Structure 1
């Protein structure tokens, strides 16, 4: 959708301070710092892109409050803010397409059991959704096309379940939970015992409980507990392609990034962050405000707040040192071979200078 706005109005929209540029200049779009054109606004959210402020073709940029003016291209309008990345969300909403309007009602092709508890004037249920017996839907819930809600599922107010997601029997979601397409909540935990040489399935009769304001990405799976509950705490944000095993507990406001796997019965504290492809063994305890860098392997409980990396995960500086050692192996081998040659020469009675 085409919009335009003066630089002064844009500054007011994001709540910043205009420190360069004409307030009456017209901004007609947005773009990344590398791809922006004249008339567009961009932002500096990562220090690695600081050199791009010298070359960007944008007309304006949202920048940190402490940016040195000399770091930006001459003539580039600067709007200073505490958090340019977050403030740019206002710009996106202004220039982007309008938000999808909530339209209450039940599509004729949806299958809704007769005893489902909901107000059809306050929920939206899309085509081919299947909602089983005993389900409770809070007001303002949106159930998109092809969603499956199993027997006895409970959703709080304002939840959004995107197309083809699955919430299996008796799982509980709090308010304003967002579940993206293809994700499965409440699949069986991976539990087997070997009996007489065969793997025998262990019943998984617990649930998944997801507290308020959680967002879960596409194709993520969260297993139901063997008994009791798998718990995802308030405000957690979970990326695409994450696996959370049975009986895990995540504290409040954790960040779990793509392709991370957390084995069963592991407990995370509050504000834990896991980068992409982190692997966590089962039955561990992770303390508050622990951060694991991408590809870390967590093999033991870590309770002290701080950053960790490597396999097995170690405190950041130690882990980085260990990760750097394999790159030194070729040089060390060359040195060893040279010493072996010198030793062989000495043993043979010949000394080389």
Structure 2
């Protein structure tokens, strides 16, 4: 499987600015690891020395580059990282074969609605009664689709994923290995000296083009819906609690936890290890930096950092002030000694 230079320029909207193509390209690699059959890219000036010595066959470059060492073909694009991603997707789609049909070891209930000529269900997967599977969807080994689940078109469910009963997946949803969609929300009431479980009877809805990372857990609503909005991308090891609603095209990075009934607006970015308390809202286009603790509603369009979350400039000033405290204490002690000496004279 390989791509020609013509295919790559058409795919990326780029233009050849230097070099001459001698063959097709079938691999993808970093600048310092690439060979003559690989495509690579320069997306960060930190890797410029690697760029100058790369043995890649083709390099995607930004328009600001003016040096083109002998060897590779250089294709100028607006955004090298994004363009490289398009090449990755194209090559991986060629390498990955979609084979429709149901593996003999899989279990599919008799009343499941799907077209076996257009759906792939692999070894030891389970699809339970009442479910609907859209055309082009692949359910990989060991995945479990519970009762009355709806899965849209062209979804990719990786091994050992669990989608529990009544949950709904839109089109082109990707769920990485080990994720759990629709586990019970963490709901208890303390009655008669013991924690009594509160039944969680809602569902989870993953809208179109949502991606869920490995070992991420998204809890079903206590009642109603937990909703992950269209185009939202959730990283590995994220916990989304019951009745959380995210807007469209949000990014939620690894080790984040969002407590019950909280919500994100559209285009919100939540960096790694953020913690959000329950029943709060973060507005459109807000950015929560790593390890931010969110205790109250936050307006959209700002960058927040710290615990509790504050606008990043305010928090940076506080951090800088704290860093100066040891020297200020030393200066204070010296000044105090001088004052005491003057007083004793």
Q: Report the TM-score when normalising by structure 1.
A: 0.88
SS at match of 1:85: helix
SS at match of 1:340: helix
Q: Distance in 2 between matches of 1:191 and 1:224?
A: 11
1:177 and 2:173 equivalent? yes
Q: Choose from 42, 45, 68 the match for 1:44.
A: 42
Which residue pairs with 2:137 in the alignment?
141
Q: Distance in 1 between matches of 2:50 and 2:328?
A: 39
Select between 261-270 and 311-320 the one with higher mean Cα deviation.
Answer: 311-320
1:298 and 2:294 equivalent? yes
SS at match of 1:212: coil
1:185-264 paired onto structure 2 within 5 Å = 185-264=181-260
Which residue pairs with 1:31 in the alignment?
29
Q: Choose from 327, 337, 340 the match for 1:344.
A: 340
Select between 34-43 and 340-349 the one with higher mean Cα deviation.
Answer: 34-43
Shift of 1:156: 1.3
User: Which runs of no fewer than 5 residues in structure 2 stay unpaired?
Assistant: none
Shift of 1:316: 2.3
Q: Distance in 1 between matches of 2:278 and 2:33?
A: 44
TM-aligned CA distance change 1:267 to 1:91, over 3 Å: closer
Select between 124-133 and 322-331 the one with higher mean Cα deviation.
Answer: 322-331
Which residue pairs with 2:151 in the alignment?
155
SS at match of 1:249: coil
Shift of 1:304: 2.7
Which residue pairs with 1:307 in the alignment?
303
SS at match of 1:341: helix
Q: Report the TM-score when normalising by structure 2.
A: 0.89
Query: How many residues are aligned here?
Result: 343
Q: Choose from 56, 59, 62 the match for 1:61.
A: 59
SS at match of 1:259: coil
Which residue pairs with 1:14 in the alignment?
12
1:268 and 2:254 equivalent? no
CA contact (8 A) 1:295 1:310 kept: yes
Q: Distance in 2 between matches of 1:218 and 1:74?
A: 40
CA contact (8 A) 2:21 2:73 kept: no
Q: Distance in 2 between matches of 1:161 and 1:97?
A: 15
CA contact (8 A) 2:29 2:38 kept: yes
Q: Distance in 2 between matches of 1:123 and 1:176?
A: 13
Q: Distance in 1 between matches of 2:173 and 2:88?
A: 22
Shift of 1:339: 2.3
TM-aligned CA distance change 1:299 to 1:34, over 3 Å: farther
Q: Distance in 2 between matches of 1:134 and 1:186?
A: 16
CA contact (8 A) 1:273 1:290 kept: yes
Select between 323-332 and 245-254 the one with higher mean Cα deviation.
Answer: 323-332
Q: Distance in 1 between matches of 2:247 and 2:207?
A: 10
Q: Distance in 1 between matches of 2:62 and 2:151?
A: 40
TM-aligned CA distance change 1:268 to 1:49, over 3 Å: same
CA contact (8 A) 1:53 1:73 kept: no
User: Which runs of no fewer than 5 residues in structure 1 stay unpaired?
Assistant: none
RMSD of aligned residue pairs (Cα, Å): 2.5
CA contact (8 A) 2:19 2:74 kept: no
CA contact (8 A) 1:109 1:127 kept: yes
TM-aligned CA distance change 1:205 to 1:24, over 3 Å: closer
Q: Distance in 2 between matches of 1:52 and 1:126?
A: 41
CA contact (8 A) 1:159 1:177 kept: yes
